[in-house]
């Protein structure tokens, strides 16, 4: 089934009104209702071919679930995911397998993603066997060249995952994801488990992959500094909603949504000479079991007005092209 792309931009993936709710408590008696949480609450975004899109937010904001919905690990409650003009939710069997080849992913924990009993080189070319049948000799060559392109040596290939360091394992996982020559690489917190000095190695590698091979990246992270550095555009999520979404230059230099502003302000800068405005966001993220009415951010928001507790604001496009979901903007409180 072909679906007409809604805009003229070269979008590889378009997500529309995507939502996922999970059952948290099953009613044990017939008269008891199941209790749900809305983890992703109707989000829209798109990824352009060749770019790196970042999704950021704090724990429980739904960023990882979004990634898992795209990866088909969870199936969405509603909404559509259109990949290269094909609706992913409608695909079955062979077609699905073909698309899966084009979308690859990297998770936070490389040790969990690797089989501890198989040498890493075999794990790198294993996807080829699954998709194209046996041709080990050629596959081996290809796997070695990939291993080298992620900055490791052929000799590392014979090793088992526990013999490698965390950073090296994540490189192996990356090489494995690359071997099917995917178009889209989804990275869910790929560097969070790594030491600071190793993080930049993996991030530089991801940038190289994007720039040299033209692979599109979806980068999910809680590390805003890294997202600012690596990505072209960013979506900021809070309690299942996208609150701000736009080019990194505009978004990070002049955040508009009060949540984005306080999030950016909360990130420590390793320079004691910089004195930041001492606005620290008070309170904590409310429980998903009992979400606030209206805008999910209004109980913590420094500029919340009366309508904020009544209605969920929609993402509105600003003159500079970014999108923001905030009523206060209309009143001009946020404009610089």
Partner 1 sequence: MNSAYIIRKIFRAFLTIWIVTSFVFLILRLSGDPTVSVLGLEASPEAVEAFHAKWGLDDPIHVQYLRFFANVFQGDMGVSILEGRSALTAVLSRLPATVSLMVISTILTFSVGIFFGVMASLYHNTHKDQIIMTVAASGFSIPTFVLGVVLVLIFSVNLGWLPSTGSATWKHYIMPVLTMTIVDAAVFARFTRSAMLEVLYQPYMKTALAKGMSWGQAVRRHAIPNAAIPVVTIMGFWIGALIAGAVIAESIFAWPGVGRLLVYSVKHRDYNVVQVIVMLISVSMVITNLIIDIIYGKLDPRVSIDRGAE
Partner 2 sequence: MNNDKPLLELRNLIVGFNGAHKGKPVVRGVSLEVYPGEILGLVGESGSGKSVTCYSAVRLLGERGWTEGEVLFDGKDTLSCPEQDIVSIRGSQMAMIFQDAQSSLNPVQTIGRQLVEVLMMREDLRGSSSETFRKEAVDLLNEVGIPDPERRIGEFPHQLSGGQNQRVMIAIMLAGNPRLLIADEPTTALDVTIQAQILRLLKKLCRERQMAIILVTHDLGVIAESCDRTVVMYGGRIMESGSVEDILVHPRHPYTFGLLSSKPRIDIKVEKLNTIEGVVPSPENLPEGCPFFDRCLNVTDKCRDNYPPKVIEGKRHYFCFNPVEERSV
- Residues lying near partner 2 in the complex (CB under 8 A): 58-59, 165, 167-168, 195-201, 203-204, 222, 224-226, 228-230, 249, 252, 262-274, 280-282, 284-285
User: Applying CB under 8 A, which residues contact partner 1?
Assistant: 25-29, 32
| Minimal distance, residue 253 CB to partner 2, in Å | 8
H or E stretch covering 198: helix 196-213
Per-residue burial over 54-87, b = 16 or more CB atoms within 10 Å of its CB, e = otherwise: bbbbeebbbbbbbbbbbbbebebbebbbbbbebe
Q: How far is it between the farthest Cα atoms of the chain? A: 68
| Minimal distance, residue 27 CB to partner 1, in Å | 7
CB-wise, 204 or 317, nearer to partner 2?
204
Residue 1 binding partner per list partner 2, partner 1, none, with a CB distance cut-off of 5 to 8 Å that depends on partner kind? none
CB-wise, 121 or 226, nearer to partner 2?
226
Q: Please tell me the distance from the alpha carbon of residue 1 to that of residue 117, in angstroms, as a whole number.
A: 42
Residue 28 binding partner per list partner 2, partner 1, none, with a CB distance cut-off of 5 to 8 Å that depends on partner kind? partner 1
CB-wise, 27 or 112, nearer to partner 1?
27
Q: Which two tokens stand for residue 11?
A: 């979008």
DSSP state of 190: T
| Minimal distance, residue 12 CB to partner 1, in Å | 43
CA-wise closest residue to 66 among 187, 151, 183:
187
Residue 277 binding partner per list partner 2, partner 1, none, with a CB distance cut-off of 5 to 8 Å that depends on partner kind? none
Q: Which two tokens stand for residue 334?
A: 């946020």
Residue 165 binding partner per list partner 2, partner 1, none, with a CB distance cut-off of 5 to 8 Å that depends on partner kind? partner 2
CB-wise, 143 or 227, nearer to partner 2?
227
Q: Which two tokens stand for residue 100?
A: 């899966």
On the 0-12 / 13-18 / 19+ scale of CB atoms within 10 A, 169 is buried
Residue 72 binding partner per list partner 2, partner 1, none, with a CB distance cut-off of 5 to 8 Å that depends on partner kind? none
| Minimal distance, residue 235 CB to partner 2, in Å | 17
H or E stretch covering 124: helix 120-132
DSSP state of 58: -
| Minimal distance, residue 187 CB to partner 2, in Å | 16
Half-sphere exposure of 102 (CA within 13 A, CB side): 15
Residue 252 binding partner per list partner 1, partner 2, none, with a CB distance cut-off of 5 to 8 Å that depends on partner kind? partner 2
CB atoms within 10 A of CB 136: 12
């Amino acid at each position: 089934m072909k679906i007409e792309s809604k805009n003229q931009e070269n979008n590889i993936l378009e997500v529309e009104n995507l939502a996922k709710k999970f059952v948290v408590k099953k009613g044990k008696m017939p008269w008891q209702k199941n209790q749900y949480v809305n983890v992703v609450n109707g989000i829209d975004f798109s990824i352009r071919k060749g770019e790196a899109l970042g999704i950021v937010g704090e724990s429980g904001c739904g960023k990882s679930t979004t990634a898992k919905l795209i990866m088909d690990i969870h199936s969405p409650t509603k909404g559509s995911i259109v990949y290269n003009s094909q609706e992913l939710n409608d695909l079955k069997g062979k077609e699905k397998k073909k698309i899966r080849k084009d979308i690859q992913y990297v998770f936070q924990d490389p040790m969990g993603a690797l089989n501890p009993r198989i040498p890493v080189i075999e794990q790198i070319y294993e996807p080829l066997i699954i998709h194209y049948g046996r041709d080990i000799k050629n596959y081996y060559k290809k796997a070695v060249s990939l291993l080298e392109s992620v900055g490791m040596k052929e000799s590392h290939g014979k090793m088992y995952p526990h013999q490698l360091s965390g950073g090296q394992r994540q490189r192996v996982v990356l090489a494995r994801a690359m071997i099917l020559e995917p178009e889209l690489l989804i990275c869910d917190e790929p560097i969070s488990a790594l030491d600071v000095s190793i993080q930049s190695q993996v991030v530089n590698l991801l940038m190289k992959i994007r720039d040299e091979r033209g692979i599109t990246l979806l980068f999910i992270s809680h590390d805003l500094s890294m997202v600012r550095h690596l990505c072209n555009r960013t979506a900021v999520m809070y309690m299942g909603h996208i609150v701000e979404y736009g080019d990194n230059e505009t978004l990070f230099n002049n955040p508009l949504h009060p949540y984005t502003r306080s999030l950016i302000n909360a990130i420590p800068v390793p320079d004691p000479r910089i004195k930041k405005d001492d606005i620290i966001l008070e309170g904590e993220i409310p429980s998903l079991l009992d979400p606030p009415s209206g805008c999910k951010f209004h109980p913590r928001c420094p500029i919340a007005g009366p309508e904020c507790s009544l209605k969920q604001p929609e993402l509105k496009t600003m003159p500079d092209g970014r999108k923001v979901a905030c009523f206060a903007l209309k009143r001009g409180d946020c404009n610089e």
